[in-house]
Amino acid sequence: MAQIRTVLFDLDGTLLDTAPDMAAALNAVLAEEGFPQLPFAHIRGHVSHGSNALVKLGFGQEQDEADFQRRRQRFLDVYNENLHLDTELFPGMASLLAYIERHGMNWGVVTNKPAFLTDPLMASLGLAARAACIVSGDTTDERKPHPKPMLHACELAGSHADECVYVGDASRDIEAGRRAGMATLVALYGYINEFQKPEEWGADAMINEPREILDWLLEADPQRAAL
């Protein structure tokens, strides 16, 4: 494996703990329509699958299409107005990013979240200017699990695919990274529910906390430890 130069992250459930704000937005829309609110623990495992999945979780899989689209748009509007109330980097992630920046590497984001949500959220957290690339769900004409967003991120970051590692918490993340030809890590601390089997996704390793990403980097290139 080539020396890793770029660490790429999924956004929701990998780089950022966005579940509190996304769950609050869903429950706000449920309350507006007289539906019972859902426990946070129930919502958390579905956040990485986006607005469609959350609206179906709250209002049911079988909805009139017009109702579904209206509820989805309302959810996006409420969430967009409250992007950064309780969203933060996962514990240990700030130290990891600082290490990456100090040791001749760079980092970026590849997410299926649309840019109108991704960009202001990254800016609000002071991360936009630090990232070598931010590739959102509508940056290219394909989304994960297609490899095109991953390869576009490589170009922006100035690295070849085999010089990148992608960290994500969904099967499409690992599939996209593998199809692009980069190493992949599963963020077990992310939004993985009991119905998913990350051990079957084919990642290079499974990570319990951000600190273990650094451990993986050091194991992949022992000379980094001396830097």
Catalytic residues, which ones? 10, 12
Q: What residue has token string 């019972």?
A: 36
Burial letters for 87-108: b for 16+ Cβ neighbours within 10 Å, e otherwise?
A: bebbeebeebbebbeeeebbbb
Pairing verdict, β 16-17 and 88-89: antiparallel
Read off the DSSP letter of residue 161: G
Taking the C-alpha atoms of 170, 110, 158 and 181 in order, what is their torsion angle to the nearest 10 degrees?
Answer: 30
